[in-house]
């Protein structure tokens, strides 16, 4: 008779995790990346060099760089953020975290309590919404167009909330390669957003995890770079540019905020070896590697768009992603992608149902997110074809694949 | 005019972190270890080999090993725990975590809610007590003797709680190289503890972070190994045996519990590179390395005991630690070690005041914890001498250093 833990569980616990049974054959979920693009030889060289030079520092928590993370990595970030985003960020005001998820957790731990309200984009990162749900925090959806948050409706929302005496704790935005839509907010709109945030006195939380991966290599200045008032909290990650299994992200902001985030970072530091190897690698290889990733991912994006056009015809609508590793697809209203996802996974095709990526699940019911970073081009083609078959069998959609009517 | 975040902070936030200003000259705090003992060459070789072989897997979250962590590391742990602790633990029921602190956080997230009660050892790990304080969880102190928790008083405490209809959520114990006392609970007492836990139906949380580092290389079976009912949750760490800056620990338990912990592990996995390198290193080098650490630390322990005897004479009382990296020192009642620590740090000597390591701070007021893993033997001697000087100046104690009366 095994011991029964259930009487001891706290209330409101999520369902138990299942046993892991391997990746699905066609894996269109998760922020996985291209296996062939991992710079293995450079990693070997970087880790060898940095370990030989500084390995003995692993004997101390925080390596001799203090609790904010390995200083050479913060120095690299300071320089790189300046060039890439236009941001002036002192290495002393950067906090290295265990993936950008921890950046979300720390900012939430500093700012949020149950019953608080935040503004999110109507379609946004599932992990962020889940965190709000767990914290008992309300979120209000700001509608998007092809340039990100629509400022007219945002102004309306903020006015309405003010009228109800609700002061949102922050505006969460992924302005550069928005997740899941793949859009980029132009600079003019970033300035409008800042203006609104100022007039309503609401901090902006700028999640820039995908920002390096624009397909044309260009991007607007970060919102944080456009703000001389320090009202923007910024996070980024090496998960998408370098490798997601390295759990390294960063939080950049005013010391007033960073010092609070550091005070609630109770983990005795983020993994040092990964920070050391990353710093050593990035100082010499980051720009070249990112340029290569842009090409690799742009080609895969073309592959998945071609496959969607070929297999779903006009039934699959999508905006052309401007970068990143995912595409946001709208199917006809009658398709419930949550049901579709359940059937598809049983046949080896994993996808993100739109409801999970939408502040209002109902609005995402017939949408889906497909990640194209990890599967090969052949797997993308086969997987999308199989998905179209399954979808047609289950819903009668797509009626046509390309120009050919389905039987 | 910088932006003012303070109106947005949630209530009850801890004080902001200060700027890091480097390690103190004589660093007797934190779980730092011996810099010369870091096996740098073996780390270089292990990381080179594992990266060359499996580096491309870094492109996927969880490395193809699933969310429980790198499978070869779990397999190593399963085999090593069997030999070292007597525990039969399937690799599928081990969860790799980002340092044992995350193990605490996950178990707490599964079991605890505000107002709950747990049992702790009267002197125990500060990080655990802080976590309970933050969670609003009450803790009841179980008195210790030289063999760990006293079972007669524990039985009394549990009876009293039962009488008050308080069901403790778990008994937190560090039975093998207790932190901070350095004691080891004998097997007979472990069996008594299990018996009590069973009759009161309370899980045991066995924190075995220092257990490999006994100075004579011997240790009793883990409590979890003595229990065929699955009532014991077990955690361990590589921080003390290998390197603290590698944030890798593990949780071992019944799937009923592990699956719940996994469900509240929202971080997309712990750092993969560190897990990979550790597995590669440990499979061939762990036992030799641990044997070497036992010698290194045993010698440093001798050094600090000699220094305490020489500099504090009879004013410093301590039990001889049976392993680990710290010594728990009792000074005369009139010394307040919290005040002493403040004066000492200004002069470059860092120590842990006993109040912070005691469930009842008042009972630890004249005690202190000194960590001897990181400083060199010379630094230990100089640091203890300086501490004795400072203590004498501030409190008149020690009156004698060794056999010599102080002026």
Torsion of CA B250, B253, B256, B257, to 10 degrees: -50
Among chain B residues, the shortest Cα distance to A239 is held by B59
**Neighbouring residues of B105: CB distance < 8 A, sequence distance ≥ 6:** A266, B131
**Residue B2 banded pLDDT, cuts 50, 70, 90:** confident
CA angle B71/B76/B82 to nearest 5° reads: 130
User: Do residue A229 and residue B2 have CB atoms under 8 angstroms apart?
Assistant: yes
Q: Which residue has the tokens 């790198």?
A: B70
pLDDT score for A406: 83
Mean pLDDT of A104-124: 98
In the predicted model, is pLDDT for residue B112 greater than 90? yes
**Given A51, A109, A254, which is nearest B44 (Cβ)?**
A51
Helix (H, G, I), strand (E, B) or coil at A45: helix
In the predicted model, is pLDDT for residue B407 greater than 80? no
In the predicted model, is pLDDT for residue A295 greater than 70? yes
Nearest residue to A13 (alpha-carbon basis) of B264, B262, B257, B202: B264
Of the CA atoms within 13 Å of residue A185, those in its CB half-sphere come to 25
Find chain A residues with C-beta within 8 A of B53's C-beta.
none
Helix spans in B313-399 (H): 337-346, 377-395
Mutation target vs A (from B13, B15, B46, B59; most A CBs, 10 A cutoff): B59
**Residue B1 banded pLDDT, cuts 50, 70, 90:** low
Strand A204-207 versus strand A171-173 pairing type: parallel
**Neighbouring residues of B396: CB distance < 8 A, sequence distance ≥ 6:** none
Distance from CA of A105 to the nearest CA of B (A): 9
Given a contact cutoff of 8 angstroms between Cβ atoms, the answer to whether B16 and A259 are in contact is yes
pLDDT score for A405: 85
Given a contact cutoff of 8 angstroms between Cβ atoms, the answer to whether B391 and B349 are in contact is no
User: Do residue B47 and residue A48 have CB atoms under 8 angstroms apart?
Assistant: yes
User: Do residue B113 and residue A10 have CB atoms under 8 angstroms apart?
Assistant: yes
- Domains present along chain A, CATH in parentheses: 22-38+288-405 (3.90.1150.10), 40-285 (3.40.640.10)
Mean pLDDT of A168-177: 98
pLDDT score for B127: 96
Query: Which pTM does this prediction carry?
Result: 0.96
For chain A, say whether B280 makes contact (Cβ under 8 Å): no
ipTM over 0.90: yes
Mean pLDDT of B268-276: 94
**Neighbouring residues of B280: CB distance < 8 A, sequence distance ≥ 6:** B46, B47, B49, B50, B72
In the predicted model, is pLDDT for residue A55 greater than 90? yes
State the average pLDDT for chain A: 96
In the predicted model, is pLDDT for residue A273 greater than 90? yes
User: Do residue B247 and residue A230 have CB atoms under 8 angstroms apart?
Assistant: no
How many Cβ atoms are within 10 Å of B362's Cβ, its own excluded? 9
User: Do residue A16 and residue B127 have CB atoms under 8 angstroms apart?
Assistant: no
How many Cβ atoms are within 10 Å of B24's Cβ, its own excluded? 18
Find chain B residues with C-beta within 8 A of A59's C-beta.
32-35, 37-38, 243-245, 373-374
Given a contact cutoff of 8 angstroms between Cβ atoms, the answer to whether B177 and B324 are in contact is yes
**Residue B97 banded pLDDT, cuts 50, 70, 90:** very high
Find chain A residues with C-beta within 8 A of B102's C-beta.
267
pLDDT score for A1: 64
Mutation target vs B (from A14, A35, A40, A60; most B CBs, 10 A cutoff): A60
How buried is A285 (Cβ within 10 angstroms: 0-12 exposed, 13-18 middle, 19+ buried)? middle
Mean pLDDT of B283-289: 97
Distance from CA of B183 to the nearest CA of A (A): 24
**CA-CA distance, B226 to B194, in Å (whole number)?**
8
Residue B161, token pair as written in the block? 């709680």
User: Do residue A269 and residue B248 have CB atoms under 8 angstroms apart?
Assistant: no
Given a contact cutoff of 8 angstroms between Cβ atoms, the answer to whether A168 and A199 are in contact is no
User: Do residue B60 and residue A229 have CB atoms under 8 angstroms apart?
Assistant: no
Q: Which of residues 245-264 of B touch A (CB under 8 A)?
A: 245-248, 254, 256-257, 259-260, 262-264
Given a contact cutoff of 8 angstroms between Cβ atoms, the answer to whether B127 and B99 are in contact is no
Mutation target vs B (from A2, A4, A15, A17; most B CBs, 10 A cutoff): A17
Mean pLDDT of B277-293: 97
Bridge partners of A236, per DSSP, are A250
Among chain B residues, the shortest Cα distance to A240 is held by B59
Distance from CA of A289 to the nearest CA of B (A): 14
Distance from CA of B218 to the nearest CA of A (A): 24
Nearest residue to B177 (alpha-carbon basis) of B347, B301, B40: B301
**Neighbouring residues of A276: CB distance < 8 A, sequence distance ≥ 6:** A47, A50, A51, A54, A63, A70, A72, A73
What 3 state SS string does B43-69 have? HHHHHHHHHHHHHHHHHCHHHHCCCCC
Mean pLDDT of B236-247: 93
For chain B, say whether A130 makes contact (Cβ under 8 Å): yes
How many Cβ atoms are within 10 Å of A171's Cβ, its own excluded? 27
């Amino acid at each position: 008779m095994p011991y029964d833990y259930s009487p001891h569980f706290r209330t409101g616990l999520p369902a138990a995790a299942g046993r892991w049974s391997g990746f699905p054959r066609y894996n269109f979920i998760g922020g996985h990346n291209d296996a062939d693009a991992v710079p293995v030889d450079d990693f070997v060289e970087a880790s060898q060099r940095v370990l030989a030079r500084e390995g003995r520092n692993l004997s101390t928590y925080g390596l001799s760089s203090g609790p904010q993370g390995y200083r050479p990595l913060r120095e690299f970030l300071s320089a790189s953020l300046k060039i890439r985003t236009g941001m002036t960020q002192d290495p002393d005001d950067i906090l290295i975290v265990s993936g950008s998820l921890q950046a979300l957790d720390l900012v939430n731990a500093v700012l949020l309590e149950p019953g608080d309200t935040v503004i999110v984009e109507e379609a946004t990162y599932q992990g962020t919404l889940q965190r709000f749900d767990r914290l008992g925090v309300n979120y209000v959806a700001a509608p998007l167009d092809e340039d990100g948050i629509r400022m007219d409706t945002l102004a309306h929302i903020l006015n309405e909330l003010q009228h109800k005496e609700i002061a949102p704790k922050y505006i969460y935005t992924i302005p550069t390669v928005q997740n899941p839509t793949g859009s980029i907010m132009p600079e003019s709109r970033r300035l409008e957003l800042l203006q609104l945030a100022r007039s309503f006195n609401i901090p902006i939380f700028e999640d820039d995890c995908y920002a390096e991966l624009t397909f044309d290599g260009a991007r607007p200045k970060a919102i944080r770079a456009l703000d001389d008032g320090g009202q923007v909290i910024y996070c980024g990650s090496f998960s998408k540019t370098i490798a997601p299994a390295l759990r390294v992200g960063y939080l950049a902001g005013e010391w007033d905020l960073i010092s609070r985030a550091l005070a609630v970072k109770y983990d005795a530091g983020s993994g040092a070896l990964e920070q050391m190897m990353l710093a050593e690698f990035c100082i010499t290889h980051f720009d070249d590697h990112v340029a290569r990733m842009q090409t690799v991912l742009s080609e895969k994006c073309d592959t998945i768009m071609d496959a969607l056009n070929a297999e779903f015809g006009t039934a699959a609508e999508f905006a052309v992603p401007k970068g990143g590793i995912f595409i946001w697809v709208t199917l006809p209203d009658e398709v419930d992608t949550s049901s579709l996802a359940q059937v598809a996974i049983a046949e080896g095709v994993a996808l993100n149902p739109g409801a999970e990526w939408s502040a209002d699940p109902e609005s995402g019911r017939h949408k889906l997110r497909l990640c194209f970073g990890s599967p090969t081009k052949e797997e993308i083609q086969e997987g999308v074809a199989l998905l179209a078959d399954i979808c047609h069998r289950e819903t009668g959609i797509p009626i046509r694949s390309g120009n050919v009517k389905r039987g």
